[in-house]
Chains A and B, each alone.
Chain A
Amino acid sequence: MVVVATTLLALAASAQDPGTPGGPGLALFAAKALVAELDGRQVVDNALILVKDGQIEAIAARSEIEVPTGYTLRDLGSQWVMPGLVDLHTHVSGSGINDTVFQINSGLRVAPTTVPANRNLKRALAAGVTTVLYIPGSGSNMGGQGILMKTGFPEYERALVRDPGSLKIAQGDNPTRWGYGMGRLLMNFHLRTVIEQGLAYAQAWDEFEAGEGDKPERELRLDIFRELAAHRTQVSTHTQYFQLVMMSILMLARDYDLDVYIDHGSFDSYLNSDIAVENNVAAILGPREVMWPNPPRYRTDGQVHGSAWGFQQAGHPMIGFNTDAPVVPLEELPLQAAMGARYGMDNSAMQAVRGLTIVPATVAGISDRLGSLEAGKDADLVILSGDPADPRTSIEQVYLEGETVYDTARDRRRW
């Protein structure tokens, strides 16, 4: 009996940690919790967060709820708590992600190239970045399928959040380097060709599964479109200039009804913000945060226009940030938000924090698990000394599904 118990304890040793699955509950006291709900609470002062089985059980002001018995208490003193940061444009979870044999590679997947918890990801974790979308490069029009993964788990299965995480489309520039005198018009045509095929393929399957029509022949190349058609995954677009972003919005989102979001929209892309709003296309910005003084077609009269500011001007509510790591080191994701705010983005309603958490989580369709401090969501918590966007702020601890994966008290400070 006792033996059993002890063995059980022994077995659960790792699982003993409070907050982790099977372990006892964990109660965190924090001076401030950046809740970052999509539509609702943003901040809770003197907050109490209950964590159980890797999930957030409850979050409220200390005065409002009792700490259940058996819960381990941790007082974080003056420190803040916030949800783990999400970056939807990264390339550093592995290598070998730019296949440029063909222009259209809707069948390729980055999954087989993934190296979980690698050096880059570890440093990112230490910066509070807990979830990334790992996508193919923009060497070709359609680079392939990315995956959503957590940065802190060394095991692929645990790290994986969703595969396919997105279909990567690159509309201009980089792919043109590919040669053959190919310009944007032809690349655009190729995209349309494969999307039309893909959607037809998806529809054929739907019909078959609905019992109509006979079984379509399986086509790896087009399977991803079944996911897209069912809105189970999104299109992440390498799209920057006005006319490319316009295409992302009007062609991909409006005409083909794909879940698409602007991935690193820069330069004069913000001039599309009104149609972006109309068509519910989120704007994930960076690593270029300001319009160059000398944009390709528009004049700014020498003024420096922040992309985030620009989108905000048209009242765009879904502005997020990305690093395009390694273009910008993944751990500098918060800096992207900081720069957005620096160059004019109104940050009065915590837009910077939202842009690092709930906004990307929402557009990636994982806000049921991630992106905010809400009951039922993964306990991916970042314990930090203050405003996350402020470079002076230091990250003290990072919890992943309740487990302490980074702790400056225990590990050497990585960032």
Chain B
Amino acid sequence: MCADSKNMMTPKVRTLVALALAFIGLVNLSPAAAEGKGRAILARKILIAARPGPAVLDNGVILISGSRIEAVGPQSKVKIPEGYEILDAGDNWVSPGFMDLHNHSASDLRSLNDMVYLTNPGLRAWAGAIPDTAGMRVALAAGVTSVLTIPGSGTNIGGQGVLQRTGFRGFEANLIRNPGSLKLAQAGNPERSQPWTPRRTFMNWNTRNTFRRGVAYAKRWEAFEAGEGEKPERDIQFDIYRSLVKGEAQVSTHTQIYQVVLMTVNMVAIEFGLPVFIDHGTFDGFRAAPQAQAAGVNAILGPRAIQDHRAGFVDTDGKIMGVAASYQERGHTTIGFNTDSPVIPQEELPLQAAMGVRYGFDNSKMDAIRGLTIVPALTVGLQADQGSVEVGKYADLIVTKGDPIDPRSSVEWVIQHGQTVYSTQSERRRW
């Protein structure tokens, strides 16, 4: 603000503020304030969902100090320090909070698509982001504790997504990373929405050209920062590519049928060498699973979970194929699930995994729960902070009546950064 208002927060005012904050209890709804007393959570079954690492721990205890996990182990071994608040989940199960890498609904839903240009790498979903809408409150009550909110697929490059938590109030409290990703939609929707009906070959050329320029821009900066070459002119249209090249953000791709998924792998991952993941991958996309696996392109699948015999797609010989199962059969090992909320209500993310399993996804090693937690975390490079119940990670935990992907298993408790952000004991069940 101007000279005068710079000191608008005089000490007096500041204390006032602090008081006020304390009163209305917004404090417990911001991660900053999480520090302080420790907690211990005991449960009959804890889904560790580590990768690599164990899947389950029976009769375990989780120690939380501040916002992070301090220790995990069998109740017999782990000693609970003095003064720790003990939450006994009893026969309930504890698992890591779910993460959805294809979300639109943590926003005003009016800022999804800007239809003026085909490629808009400079746009930011941030400008429309609302992490804790009424709908997302329900999602939180279903255990969805973090989402990647991305622009729509009305154009080839919709803009930059933003990674948000869902447990707290306001944007900053919930911000995980911005930019979270660059949203790429190769085909399927963009051709519909343009009055001049571009087709896939042109869209691909145009997208590819944008990527080429973006990567070149990023390289120029790299060179400059390495002391070679002079300072490039700042271009916010292409800044995102600096993050991509550094691996600080990924390309989240609306990509579906075989040839399009193949192009995602060949163009984005192999030709441009950018971190990218499949963010639909449905219909006969699974036919490109081996290539995706080879190129290290993770498959975040949904919301379509099955594929039957359809002209133009694939001959399933009458079988009704599970999409996730089909990736798995073809050797893909890093498979997650998404909802494309609001296409599927955000709170039904776990159902996506359940349906994956129903239609043949091998869950004997408990990869379904991983597909909702550690896999998405790995996919966007957050595995150090979240995605599994391991020491040092944020205490983003959900307590369910049973198998967390079973629709019958209600969520009783949601803990984010060590704080209870939802509990059916203190309020009517939202979901």
Contact B111 A243 (CB under 8 A): yes
The verdict on A75 contacting chain B, using a C-beta distance below 8 Å, is no
Residues of B close to A281: CB separation below 8 A: 1
Interface residue count on the A side (C-beta < 8 Å):
55
Contact A185 B123 (CB under 8 A): yes
The verdict on A368 contacting chain B, using a C-beta distance below 8 Å, is yes
The verdict on B197 contacting chain A, using a C-beta distance below 8 Å, is no
Closest-by-CB residue of B relative to A180 is: B116
Contacts known (A183-B113, A184-B110); A365 close to B170, Cβ less than 8 A: no
Closest-by-CB residue of A relative to B133 is: A297
Q: How long is the Cα–Cα vector from A314 to B14 in the complex, in angstroms?
A: 11
Contacts known (A259-B1, A271-B169); A188 close to B124, Cβ less than 8 A: yes
Residues of A close to B10: CB separation below 8 A: 39
Contact B1 A181 (CB under 8 A): no
Residues of A close to B237: CB separation below 8 A: 189
Residues of A close to B8: CB separation below 8 A: 38, 280, 282, 317-318, 362
Residues of A close to B110: CB separation below 8 A: 183-184
Give the interface segment out of B18-26, B260-268, B401-409: B18-26
Chain A residues numbered 24-48 whose CB sits less than 8 Å from any CB in chain B:
38-39
Chain B residues numbered 74-131 whose CB sits less than 8 Å from any CB in chain A:
107-108, 110-117, 120, 122-130
Residues of B close to A316: CB separation below 8 A: 17
What is the CB-to-nearest-CB distance from B82 to chain A, in angstroms, rounded to a whole number?
34
Contact B107 A243 (CB under 8 A): yes
Contact B2 A274 (CB under 8 A): no
Selected from A186, A296, A368, the residue in CB contact (under 8 A) with B4 is A368
Q: How long is the Cα–Cα vector from A83 to B114 in the complex, in angstroms?
A: 47
The verdict on B319 contacting chain A, using a C-beta distance below 8 Å, is no
Contact B5 A362 (CB under 8 A): yes
Contacts known (A243-B111, A282-B8); A259 close to B127, Cβ less than 8 A: no
The verdict on B30 contacting chain A, using a C-beta distance below 8 Å, is yes
Contacts known (A243-B127, A315-B16); A274 close to B108, Cβ less than 8 A: no
Q: How long is the Cα–Cα vector from A312 to B234 in the complex, in angstroms?
A: 40
Contacts known (A241-B108, A317-B16); A186 close to B134, Cβ less than 8 A: no
Selected from B2, B108, B124, B234, the residue in CB contact (under 8 A) with A196 is B234
Residues of B close to A312: CB separation below 8 A: 20
Q: How long is the Cα–Cα vector from A101 to B159 in the complex, in angstroms?
A: 26
Contact B236 A192 (CB under 8 A): yes
Q: How long is the Cα–Cα vector from A182 to B369 in the complex, in angstroms?
A: 40
What is the CB-to-nearest-CB distance from B24 to chain A, in angstroms, rounded to a whole number?
5
Selected from A193, A313, A318, A365, the residue in CB contact (under 8 A) with B2 is A365
Residues of B close to A183: CB separation below 8 A: 110-115
Contact A277 B170 (CB under 8 A): no
Contacts known (A196-B234, A274-B21, A315-B16); A185 close to B2, Cβ less than 8 A: no
What is the CB-to-nearest-CB distance from B190 to chain A, in angstroms, rounded to a whole number?
13
Closest-by-CB residue of B relative to A234 is: B2
Q: How long is the Cα–Cα vector from A261 to B2 in the complex, in angstroms?
A: 10
Closest-by-CB residue of B relative to A277 is: B17
Residues of A close to B127: CB separation below 8 A: 171, 184-185, 188, 243, 247, 251
What is the CB-to-nearest-CB distance from B236 to chain A, in angstroms, rounded to a whole number?
6
Contacts known (A180-B116, A315-B18); A189 close to B236, Cβ less than 8 A: yes
Closest-by-CB residue of A relative to B27 is: A274
The verdict on B285 contacting chain A, using a C-beta distance below 8 Å, is no
Closest-by-CB residue of B relative to A258 is: B1
The verdict on B3 contacting chain A, using a C-beta distance below 8 Å, is yes
Contacts known (A181-B114, A280-B6, A362-B5); A315 close to B17, Cβ less than 8 A: yes
What is the CB-to-nearest-CB distance from B8 to chain A, in angstroms, rounded to a whole number?
5
What is the CB-to-nearest-CB distance from B181 to chain A, in angstroms, rounded to a whole number?
15
Closest-by-CB residue of A relative to B18 is: A315
The verdict on B431 contacting chain A, using a C-beta distance below 8 Å, is no
Closest-by-CB residue of A relative to B9 is: A280
Selected from A171, A250, A259, A299, the residue in CB contact (under 8 A) with B171 is A250
Q: How long is the Cα–Cα vector from A312 to B24 in the complex, in angstroms?
A: 11
The verdict on B151 contacting chain A, using a C-beta distance below 8 Å, is yes
B-side residues, CB < 8 A to A, are: 1-6, 8-10, 12-13, 16-21, 24, 26, 30, 107-108, 110-117, 120, 122-130, 133-135, 151, 159, 169-172, 234, 236-237
**12 intermolecular pairs with C-beta atoms under 8 Å apart:** A183-B110, A185-B111, A189-B120, A196-B234, A250-B172, A259-B5, A281-B1, A282-B1, A297-B108, A314-B21, A315-B18, A317-B16
Knowing that A246-B171, A275-B171, A313-B20 touch, tell me 6 more A-B residue pairs with CB under 8 angstroms.
A192-B122, A231-B3, A243-B171, A272-B171, A297-B108, A365-B3
